[in-house]
Structure 1
Amino acid sequence: MSATDAARLSFRDPVAARALGRRRSAMDRFITIFCLAATAVGLFFLASILTTLFWRGFAALDWTVLTTEFRPTTYGDDTLPKGGLLHAIVGSLIQVSLATLVGTPIGLLVGTYLAEYARDSALGNAVRFVSDILLSAPSILIGLFIYQLVVLPIGGFSGLAGVLALAIIVIPVVVRTTEDMLQLIPATLREAVIGLGAPKWKMILLVCYKAAISGIVTGVLLAVARIAGETAPLLLTSFGNNVVSFDLMRAMASLPISIYQQANSGFPDLIAIAWAGALLVTLGVLAINIIARVLLRKKS
C-alpha cells in the first residue's frame, strides 16, 4: 500500500489505519533486529579471525623471521638456527612493486580514454565491459593465462611471470578508479580550460589529473592491497623458492606462497612462521587501506 492509499484509509477507517500502522511498526522492528543480528554474526567471525591471527602471529614474529631466509625445521632441536621469511618479503616487494609500475600506467591511460575520449562510443563501451569482467575474474584464471603465455614458452616458473599476472590484476582496478574520478570533475572546468585556448591533452594533464589525483592514488593503493595477498596466480607463475633472489627469470618467493607452503608443512615451527607471515600481509594491507581512506576523505 502506498503512502497516498494509507492517508486515504486513515480518513475512511481509523481502526484499519491503526492496525496497518502497528503491522508496519512490527515489521520495521523485525527488520532492524534481523540486520543487527546479521551484523553481530559478521563482526563475531571477523573478530575471531583477527584475534587468532594477532595472537598467533605476534607470538611467532621476531627479528629472526624478518632477517633470515628459510631453513629446514628446527622442531625438537633448539640448537639449530631458526628460519625466517626474508626471501618471501623481498620477493613480494619486488613483484608487487614491478606489477604496480607496469599496471598503473596502462590502467591510467585506459581510464583516461574511457572518461575523456570514449564516454558514449561503441569501442569505449566494449573496453569498459571487458575491464569490468577482468575486475571480477578469478585470479587463478589470470595465473593460468600467464602460465600458457609466458611460463610454458620460457620453460619454467619465473618472477617475470608473477609480475605480469599481478599487473593484469592491477589494470582493471586502476581503470575503474581513474574513470570514476575523472567523470566527477565538472564539465564547466573543462570548458573553461578549453575556452582559454589550451589543447585537450594539456587540459587533461594539468587540470583533470590535478583535480583527481587523490582518487587516482587511492585506486592504485587499493590495487596494491589486492595483489599483496594473491596466492593462486603466483602458484602458476613465480611458484616460489627458499632463497633471496633478484633474478626475474627464475622462480621467486613471495609471502602468500611461503605462507601456503609452510602452513601445509605439518611442522609446528614452520606453521608458526606461516602465522607470522600472515600477520605481516594483514598489517601491510591494513596500512595501505588506511592510507587510501585518508586520501579519499581528503578528496571528498
Structure 2
Amino acid sequence: MNPIYASRRRRDVIVRALCFVAAAFGVSWLGLILFTLFYNGLAGMSWQLFTQNTPPPGASEGGLLNALVGSIIMTVIGVGVGAPIGMFAGTYLAEYGKHDRLAPVIRFINDILLSAPSIIIGLFVYGAVVVPMGGFSALAGSLALAVIVIPIVVRTTEDMLSLVPNSLREAASALGLPRSLVIKRIAYRAARTGLITGVLLATARVAGETAPLLFTALNNQFFSMDLTNPVANLPVTINNFVQSPYVYWKELAWSAALLITLAVLVLNIIARLMGSERIAK
C-alpha cells in the first residue's frame, strides 16, 4: 500500500472516531436532560394541571391554567406584532433595498438584535414601557417578545425572498403587474413555506423566554386577562417554583418545563417538515 495513502487513511479514521465521540458525548447529555425532564415532568401531569390556577404556598392541589393562558396570550400578541414588522423589513431588504446604502445598516442592526441577550431586551422594555406605565403588564411582556421575534423574521424573510428566481419577477413585470403586486402575488407565494417556517421558529424561540418577562410581565398567582396588569406565565412560574421549598411547586415546575419543551419540539418539527417540503418542490 502507498505510504502516503496509508497515512491519510489513518488520519481519516482518527478524525472520524473523534467526530463520532464528540457527537455521542453531546447527544448523550441531551438525552440525559430529556430523560430527566420527561421522568419528572410526566409524574406531575394530570387534568387539574390544565383546569386549576397555580396554588398558594404550602398547598397540595393546583395547576397551571393561569400560567398557560398568560403565556399563550403574550406569545400570540408578541408574534402577531413582531412577525408583520419583520416581514415588511425583510421585504424591503430583499426587494426594494438591495442597492440602497441604508440596507447594510439595517442588516447590521438586525444582526445585533438577533444575537443580543434577551435580558438586555427585557431591561430596555422595562425602562421604555414599564417605568412610564408605572407597573408591570402583559403588554410590556408582549412587546419584549415582539422585539425578539422581529430580527428572526427579518432574516428568514430576506433569505427566503432572495431564493425566489428573478425570472418569476421579470415575467410578472412583463405582464404589467406593478412592483407591489409582483411581491404579493409572486414572491410571497413562491416563498410562502419559508416565510411560515420563519414565523414558527420565532414562536419557538420566544415561547420559553424568561428573562424579558421578569422585567416586564412579572407574574400573577391569580387568573387574569387584563393586559395592563401583571399576568401569569409559564417561564416565570417555573423560575419561581423551582426555587421554592415546596415539593408540589417543584413538581409543577417540572411539568411546566415539559409543556414548554413539547411545544417548542412540535413547532420545530413542523418548521423542519415545511422546510424539507419546500426543498423537495
TM-score (norm 1): 0.91
In 2: Cα distance, 1:255 partner to 1:143 partner: 16
What amino acid does structure 2 have at the position aligned with 1:32?
R
Residue in 2 that maps onto 1:3: none
- TM-aligned CA deviation for residue 267 of structure 1: 1.2
What amino acid does structure 2 have at the position aligned with 1:51?
F
1:35 aligns with 2:12: no
- TM-aligned CA deviation for residue 105 of structure 1: 0.7
1:296 aligns with 2:240: no
- TM-aligned CA deviation for residue 81 of structure 1: 5.7
The equivalent position to 2:193 in structure 1, one of 214, 223, 246, is 214
1:286 aligns with 2:270: no
1:57 aligns with 2:41: yes
1:186 aligns with 2:170: no
Residue in 2 that maps onto 1:126: 105
Residue in 1 that maps onto 2:115: 136
In 2: Cα distance, 1:44 partner to 1:179 partner: 36
In 1: Cα distance, 2:82 partner to 2:232 partner: 21
Gaps (5+ residues) in structure 1?
1-14, 75-79
In 2: Cα distance, 1:162 partner to 1:178 partner: 24
In 1: Cα distance, 2:134 partner to 2:256 partner: 30
* Cα deviation code 1:156-184 (max 9, x no counterpart): 11111100000000001110111011000
The equivalent position to 2:239 in structure 1, one of 247, 253, 260, is 260
- TM-aligned CA deviation for residue 97 of structure 1: 0.3
Residue in 1 that maps onto 2:55: 71
Structure 2 matches for 1:147-166, cutoff 5 A? Answer: 147-166=126-145
In 2: Cα distance, 1:178 partner to 1:97 partner: 19
Residue in 1 that maps onto 2:179: 200
Residue in 1 that maps onto 2:256: 277
Residue in 2 that maps onto 1:110: 89
In 1: Cα distance, 2:267 partner to 2:71 partner: 15
Structure of larger gyration radius? 1
Residue in 1 that maps onto 2:124: 145
Is this contact kept in 1: 2:60–2:248, CA < 8 A? no
What amino acid does structure 2 have at the position aligned with 1:145?
F
In 1: Cα distance, 2:234 partner to 2:24 partner: 32
Number of aligned residues: 279
1:93 aligns with 2:69: no
2:68 counterpart SS class:
helix
The equivalent position to 1:245 in structure 2, one of 216, 224, 234, is 224
* Cα deviation code 1:254-292 (max 9, x no counterpart): 100001100000211110010000010011111111111
What amino acid does structure 1 have at the position aligned with 2:95?
E
In 1: Cα distance, 2:34 partner to 2:274 partner: 25
Gaps (5+ residues) in structure 2?
none
Is this contact kept in 1: 2:56–2:221, CA < 8 A? no
What amino acid does structure 1 have at the position aligned with 2:124?
F
* Cα deviation code 1:212-262 (max 9, x no counterpart): 110000000000000000000100000111111111111111100001100
Residue in 2 that maps onto 1:223: 202
In 2: Cα distance, 1:228 partner to 1:194 partner: 40
What amino acid does structure 1 have at the position aligned with 2:169?
R
| CA-atom RMSD in angstroms | 1.1
- TM-aligned CA deviation for residue 20 of structure 1: 2.1
- TM-aligned CA deviation for residue 122 of structure 1: 1.4
What amino acid does structure 2 have at the position aligned with 1:66?
F
- TM-aligned CA deviation for residue 120 of structure 1: 2.8
- Give the fraction of aligned pairs with identical amino acids, expressed as a percent: 49
In 2: Cα distance, 1:138 partner to 1:93 partner: 22
